[in-house]
């Protein structure tokens, strides 16, 4: 891949993880550790995990709570709390979630499905792959060990009954995202990674497995294992599945150096084991040997096992939507929970952190058209044109009828979606997630996974794409209820940013064509050679620039695909007369719908591929088909409202006035520094929970500054004191202090940024900040969590660190009561600040936001004073540049739609929107000016 214009060898890793059992009984913690566990596996390969996908299964969450089965949590509770858990963990650790999909099927009332899939990458030069030698040391790195998670691995294989909810909660691990973030930072360092011979994460089995798998001979001292609390016995220490821990094998001479790097990253590291010559695993606790087994026994397969399998006759798959007219069928379709808008679910997951997201989860000016796949640039230090993509495929109703064909088409759907996103199928890999009922010894039950695995295998053979890894769960039963047969296919691969394509229609008067393969006698399975030819045809259209938008039908057939293509930019479609109403509701797996550029001709195709004109795009927001005209605005309202009672995301609000303060028109001038420098220095403190430091440092370096990050160490009181002195030294050497975003100290219970605030109120740090701002004409910037710190310190709007009282403004919880992540429009209201010196008043930028506490609140008198003084820097606005209080405009409900404010002289700026999350080729499916030259303005203050 290319890094800053140079080819480099990189490793690309991917993983999917399931936490069905723990999420069913403890939805927040179970879902949180689902993503935490998914991250840990590629992380143990020393890769940086930079994008995630979430695919879940539930029963109908709109069913009244009163209808909840005995021994079960209500479906509404499950879906909302699991979403909160997964998003909380992912948002805290700083992982972009590129796609969130929840499938609804009555069978998932037996047990919830919770899948997280991730991608990671690292330079090949960072990774050693060596066998540990006798005398090597095993270091436990990261979190401490407790009782949480004991029995979790075996618990995940149990079917549930009415007692599971009450008795099995202790099996769920307790996640700690900030600690795993520290592990990510350490493993992103080449100097640390090059010392690691072998690494294992602490998943199922805890110490016994994580350490026990590293070498043939091991001597483990369980008394050396760091504990969360006293009272754990040797067995508990050996099998606890406490999270956020790594076991690394190091040469003895490298231990101290490695542990010094760990201390630099604010991580605990302890030697707990030694590699031995004798091929035995020995564990001691309190001087007694409690485990002593041979490696030969551990490496054996145990007793031979066999079972009988009977594959039953498949049913014929058919799925219809109620209604006698096209309009009625479409309304039935778009209000189907598996088709309805899930924007209210998805937008609680941070989708932009890392400043690498190529496709937003939803595209178009309305940000409503779901992307076919997730795509993000690889996590390089600098620039790259290489990105990864991942897409999923699965239809629970189809697989319930026919496991072989259902699994085959899961593969076809995942690959087709990734092709629709602009990636080339010859470079794909697959990974599977299988989930079936408790099998026991019943041959008929065993026949379902057997048929599914054979179907998936046949798809791999036919398409020439292999599956690497995966996970299975054969415990999806509750009393007499079973989950639907489930095989979710994930397709992934690498490609170029320039090829990435999205499904929302781009303009009026464009041809829309259908590219269709031949089908087998069942009418639903594409013929393999024909399907491969279709892939080639679509990839050629994308490569030539002829394809403006590409979609591929799935569960909701062509009707769903066409509707969702329209809503993103609110364009209509005039469907060709050759397509009647019924044809829009026929399964069409492996086919594609393509909007062609103005000059593009219908592609030349080979035998077995049909290319037909499906229709023309129109300015009128209507679907004209089968002699009927459908008002898409009415259909959109039904689609958006179908599951909004569970996952709300819309609220109307009145417009508010624009605030304007133009320096030139006011006859004032911005402050200027006494001394100019060629490359101003920026210090970026990294507190526990900070997660935007890489994006921030890259943005400042790109603007011409010299950025340095400082990890604040709080492992001991002495470490805190050392960090305080070092931060003061860095501030005195720098011209800019930047407080990046994150979840410092977990934000609870006293609200966001409390640890940052306490740190900066230390007299030594306070005086260094005053010297920077008042004596040396320096600048400060705080974004998101950093803005919260500036507010609570008083640096905005007062310009100094001061005591807080009831007259001070604050940032509090979003009015919707949850995290919000999306792109918003912000308007420059004042260019008083040096940070906005390269902007004009009324400039509108499309900016990423991701926060749960971003609502600016102040008394009316203070707001008016800030407006008059030019201290209201930016406001949230609609597509017409008008500020407002509606959630689609002002996602947190800030008073006067305030997004950012400054100190009286403008040298200190705080804002919620992540200006640093910009770059070439990002957010391709959302229009707007995504480059705000704010950081460039701050740097030029010292250089011009």
Which residues are tagged catalytic?
784, 914, 916
φ, ψ (nearest 5 deg) of residue 746? 80, -10
- Give the number of other CB atoms < 10 A from CB of residue 663: 18
- Give the number of other CB atoms < 10 A from CB of residue 797: 22
89: closest CA among 177, 182, 28, 178? 177
Does residue 368 sit in helix, strand or coil? coil
Angle made by CA atoms 779, 785, 787, in degrees to the nearest 5: 40
The secondary element (H helix, E strand) that includes residue 177 is: helix 177-187
C-alpha distances out from residue 76 to 54, 60, 84, 643, Å: 18, 8, 12, 11
C-alpha distances out from residue 325 to 565, 637, 642, 677, Å: 21, 19, 20, 71
43: closest CA among 127, 120, 115? 120
- Which residue(s) pair with 388 in the sheet? 376, 494
358: closest CA among 925, 933, 917? 925
Please name the residue that has the structure tokens 């979630």.
Answer: 97
Q: Which H, E and C letters describe 445-457, residue by residue?
A: HHHHHHHHHHHHH
Does residue 210 sit in helix, strand or coil? helix
How many CA atoms are closer than 13 Å to the CA of 669, on its beta-carbon side?
A: 4
User: Chain centroid to CA 909: how far?
Assistant: 28
Contact 823, 923 (CB under 8 A): yes
- The beta-strand segments (E) located in 128-205 are 137-142, 198-201
Please name the residue that has the structure tokens 């490609």.
Answer: 495
- Give the number of other CB atoms < 10 A from CB of residue 73: 18
626: closest CA among 583, 559, 580, 584? 580
Contact 565, 503 (CB under 8 A): yes
Does residue 187 sit in helix, strand or coil? helix
Transcribe 657-675 into DSSP letters: ----B-HHHHT------SS
φ, ψ (nearest 5 deg) of residue 611? -120, 120
d(CA 445, CA 450): 9
> What six digits make up the tokens of 510?
């464009």
> What six digits make up the tokens of 696?
């921030």
Transcribe 31-76 into DSSP letters: HHHHHHHHHHHHHHTTPEEEEEEEEEEES-TTS-GGGPPTT---HH
835, 839, 840, 845 alpha-carbon torsion, rounded to 10°: -110
Cis ω on the peptide bond leading into residue 797 (within 30° of 0)? yes
- The beta-strand segments (E) located in 844-921 are 844-851, 855-857, 872-877, 898-902, 908-911
Contact 110, 56 (CB under 8 A): no
C-alpha distances out from residue 696 to 330, 917, 941, Å: 45, 8, 18
Residue 542 exposed, middle or buried by CB count within 10 Å (0-12, 13-18, 19+): buried
State the helix-helix crossing angle for 27-44 and 177-187, rounded to 10 degrees: 10
d(CA 143, CA 33): 14
């Amino acid at each position: 891949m290319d890094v800053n214009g140079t080819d480099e060898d990189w490793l690309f890793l991917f993983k999917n993880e399931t936490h069905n059992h723990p999420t069913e009984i403890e939805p927040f913690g179970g879902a949180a550790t689902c993503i935490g566990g998914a991250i840990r596996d590629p992380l143990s390969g020393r890769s940086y995990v930079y994008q995630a996908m979430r695919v879940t299964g539930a029963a109908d969450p709109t069913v009244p709570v009163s209808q909840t089965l005995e021994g079960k949590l209500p479906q509404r509770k499950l879906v909302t709390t699991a979403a909160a858990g997964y998003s909380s963990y992912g948002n805290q650790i700083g992982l972009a979630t590129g796609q969130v999909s929840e499938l609804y099927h009555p069978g998932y009332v037996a047990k919830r499905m919770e899948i997280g899939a991730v991608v990671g990458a690292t330079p090949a030069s960072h990774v050693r792959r060596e066998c540990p030698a006798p005398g090597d040391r095993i270091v436990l790195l990261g979190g401490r060990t407790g009782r949480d998670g004991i029995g979790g691995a075996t618990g995940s294989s149990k079917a549930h009954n009415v007692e599971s909810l009450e008795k099995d909660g202790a099996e769920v691990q307790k996640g700690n995202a900030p600690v795993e973030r520290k592990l990510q930072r350490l493993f992103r360092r080449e100097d640390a990674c090059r010392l690691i011979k072998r690494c294992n994460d602490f998943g199922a089995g805890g110490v016994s497995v994580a350490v026990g798998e590293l070498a043939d001979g091991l001597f483990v001292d369980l008394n050396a294992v760091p504990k969360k609390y006293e009272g754990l016995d040797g067995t508990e220490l050996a099998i606890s599945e406490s999270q956020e821990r790594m076991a690394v094998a190091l040469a003895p001479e490298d231990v101290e150096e490695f542990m010094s790097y760990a201390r630099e990253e604010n991580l605990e590291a302890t030697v707990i084991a030694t590699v031995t010559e004798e091929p035995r695993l020995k564990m001691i606790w309190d001087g007694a040997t409690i485990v002593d087994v041979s490696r030969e026994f551990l490496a054996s397969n145990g007793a031979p096992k066999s079972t009988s399998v009977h594959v039953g006759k498949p049913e014929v798959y058919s799925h219809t939507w109620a209604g006698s007219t096209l309009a009625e069928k479409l309304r039935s379709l778009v209000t189907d929970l598996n088709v309805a808008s899930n924007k209210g679910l998805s937008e609680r997951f941070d989708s932009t952190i890392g400043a690498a997201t190529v496709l937003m989860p939803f595209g178009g000016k309305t940000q409503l058209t779901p992307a076919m796949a997730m795509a993000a640039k690889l996590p390089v230090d600098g620039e790259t044109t290489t990105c990864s993509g991942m897409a999923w495929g699965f239809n629970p109703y189809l697989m319930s009828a026919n496991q072989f064909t259902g699994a085959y088409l899961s593969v076809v759907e995942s690959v087709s979606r990734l092709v629709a996103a602009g990636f080339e199928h010859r470079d794909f890999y697959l990974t599977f997630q299988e989930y079936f009922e408790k099998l026991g010894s019943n041959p008929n039950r065993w026949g379902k996974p057997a048929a599914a695995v054979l179907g998936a295998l046949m798809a791999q053979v036919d398409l020439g794409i292999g599956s690497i890894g995966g996970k299975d769960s054969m415990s999806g039963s509750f009393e007499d209820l079973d989950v639907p047969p489930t095989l979710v296919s994930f397709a992934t691969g690498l490609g170029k940013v320039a090829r990435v394509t999205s499904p929302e229609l781009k303009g009026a008067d464009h041809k829309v064509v259908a590219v269709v393969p031949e089908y087998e006698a069942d009418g639903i399975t594409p013929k393999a050679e024909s399907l491969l030819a279709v892939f080639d045809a679509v990839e050629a259209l994308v490569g030539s620039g002829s394809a403006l938008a590409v979609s591929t039908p799935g569960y909701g057939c062509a009707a769903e695909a066409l509707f969702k293509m329209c809503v993103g930019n609110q364009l209509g479609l005039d469907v060709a007369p050759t397509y009647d109403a019924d044809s829009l509701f026929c399964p069409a797996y492996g086919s594609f719908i393509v909007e062609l550029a103005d000059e593009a001709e219908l592609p030349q195709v080979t035998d077995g591929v049909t290319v037909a004109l499906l229709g023309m795009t129109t300015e009128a927001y209507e679907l004209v088909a089968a002699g009927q005209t459908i008002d898409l605005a009415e259909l959109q309202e039904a689609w958006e409202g179908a599951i909004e009672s569970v996952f709300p995301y819309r609220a109307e609000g009145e417009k508010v006035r624009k605030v304007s303060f133009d320096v030139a028109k006011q006859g004032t001038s911005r402050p200027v520094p006494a001394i100019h420098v060629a490359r101003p220095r920026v210090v970026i403190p990294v507190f526990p929970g900070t997660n935007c430091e890489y994006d921030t440092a890259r943005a400042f370096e790109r603007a011409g500054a010299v950025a340095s990050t400082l990890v604040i160490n709080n492992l001991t009181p002495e470490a805190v004191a050392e960090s305080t002195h070092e931060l003061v030294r860095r501030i005195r050497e720098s011209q800019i202090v930047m407080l990046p975003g994150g979840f410092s100290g977990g934000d609870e219970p006293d609200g966001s940024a409390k640890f940052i605030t306490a740190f900066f109120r230390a007299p030594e740090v306070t005086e260094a900040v005053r010297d920077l701002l008042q004596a040396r004409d320096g600048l400060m910037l705080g974004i998101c969590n950093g803005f919260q710190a500036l507010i609570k310190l008083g640096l905005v709007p007062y310009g100094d660190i001061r005591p807080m009282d009831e007259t001070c403004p604050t940032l509090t919880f979003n009015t919707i009561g949850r995290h919000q992540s999306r792109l918003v429009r912000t308007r420059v209201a004042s260019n008083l600040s040096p940070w906005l010196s390269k902007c004009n008043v009324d400039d509108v930028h499309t900016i990423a936001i991701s926060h749960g506490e971003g609502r600016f609140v102040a008394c009316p008198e203070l707001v008016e004073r800030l407006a008059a003084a030019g201290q209201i820097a930016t406001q949230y606005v609609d597509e017409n540049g008008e500020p407002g209080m509606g959630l689609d405009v002002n996602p947190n409900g800030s008073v006067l739609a305030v997004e950012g404010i400054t100190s009286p002289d403008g040298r200190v700026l705080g804002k919620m929107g992540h200006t640093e999350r910009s770059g070439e080729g990002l957010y391709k499916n959302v229009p707007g000016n995504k480059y705000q030259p704010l950081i460039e303005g701050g740097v030029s203050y010292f250089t011009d």
